[in-house]
Structure 1
Amino acid sequence: MSNPSVLPGKVAWTGDNPFIYLKEDPAADFTSLSVFFRINASPFGIGQAALVVVRPYDEDGYGIVLTDNDSLTNYLIDEFVSKFVLFRPCSFMDKLEIISDADFKTIREGDDWIEEAHSGDRSIRLIWRDLGTPFAVDVPGPESGTGQHEMFSVFRIAQAGEVFLDGERLPGNTVQRDFLNGPGQSAGMAISETWVEV
């Protein structure tokens, strides 16, 4: 029987990191990119952040983040989100509107999962519909979103997703795309996700 091993790399962060990517035209670019973070350990402590980028590839695109830990949020955006393949072409990732002191709420309704964030009159509501069977992945450093971290996670792909910004539903729907274990919709839960420096 083999003994368990301890990985040598430094843990960059661990927590949940679900996503919802929407398109108005399935044949065109994504029209909004949304991610949520619930971080349980990192160099900048614990915290939560909800990020929505609207028209990510247009000159008039914009992004908003609601968070309860500014330092952690800046770290996640600079070192991770801005390096994820769909976010790399966004020219305004360093100009996101970051709103502090947000309150967060998680709602579970059967196989649906809802994350809400509020700060003053600003709000983000993310909904994942009909989550699928969990599966685990181990993504080596060269193939991960940053190319510098090994990533471990449990995923549950949703059959649909919705994004509300300040009470208004963003247009578009999830689309089928190639994912780690085959085709799946462009929305899902990444649960117990951990990024380890390589």
Structure 2
Amino acid sequence: MSSVRTTKVDWTGDNPFIYMKKDPAGDWTSLSTYFRIAASDYGRGEAIIVLENPYGNESDQAVRKCLTNNLELARYLVKDFVRHFGLFRPAQEALDQLEYVVDASFTTEADYPKKQVCTAHSAATNTTLSLVWNDLGKPFAVVLTPEESQTGKHEMLAVFQTAESAQVLVNGTAIEGQPIERDFLNGRAQSAALANSESWVRAK
């Protein structure tokens, strides 16, 4: 295999996630992810997505928000990537209800490897979303073929660090649930992890 990829890089950056359940034997009760994009056709930008009750058709109380500083980029990531990620595929109706907030500012705080906190704040709506990863494991690198990747159209390269525990905070209040251990790549790991240096390269 050539060490140089000649096909298009659709985006590169970081994409950590926190997927939580209230009951380990039940459905996922929240799916949250953070994009920090370094390069794409839509420029650079950031977005935090929190999708509570992702598989419910109607839920006025559920948090379904995307805070971003690049709306065009955020909509592209949701349409062409998030909707194709395995756990989000059954959540199409919830994604249709996603509220986009476009004035977000972002901060990252880290006491590495004990904790990392990524926060988005919207002054216009007085909304703050924070994703918290605790007790990070050792980093490991992966290269997924198009057949293995979530879109089926890209080779995906990334460095993962799973977290032993995690929280999703909405205006300082933790939403219910916790990560669970699940099958992850070639082993078992908690359903919360950093995903750094992530790149999606189109298949030939």
Do Structure 1 and Structure 2 share a fold, with TM-score over 0.5?
yes
- TM-score category, normalised to shorter length: over 0.9
Task: Note if 1:145 corresponds to 2:146.
Answer: no
What TM-score do the two structures reach when normalised by structure 2?
Answer: 0.93
* CA distance in structure 1 between the aligned counterparts of 2:160 and 2:116, rounded to whole angstroms: 13
Q: Measure how far apart 1:102 and its partner are.
A: 0.4
Across the aligned residues of Structure 1 and Structure 2, the Cα RMSD in angstroms comes to 1.3
Is there any run of 5+ residues in structure 1 with no aligned partner, and where? none
Q: Measure how far apart 1:92 and its partner are.
A: 2.7
Task: Note if 1:83 corresponds to 2:84.
Answer: yes
Aligned ranges 1:1-198 → 2 under 5 Å: 5-61=3-59, 62=62, 63-90=64-91, 91-111=93-113, 112-120=115-123, 121-198=126-203
For the Cα contact (< 8 Å) 2:118–2:130, is it kept in 1? yes
What's the % identity of the aligned pairs?
47
* CA distance in structure 2 between the aligned counterparts of 1:181 and 1:42, rounded to whole angstroms: 29
Is there any run of 5+ residues in structure 2 with no aligned partner, and where? none
* CA distance in structure 2 between the aligned counterparts of 1:22 and 1:6, rounded to whole angstroms: 37
What TM-score do the two structures reach when normalised by structure 1?
Answer: 0.96
Q: 1:87 aligns to what SS in structure 2?
A: helix
Aligned residues: 196
* CA distance in structure 2 between the aligned counterparts of 1:169 and 1:42, rounded to whole angstroms: 32
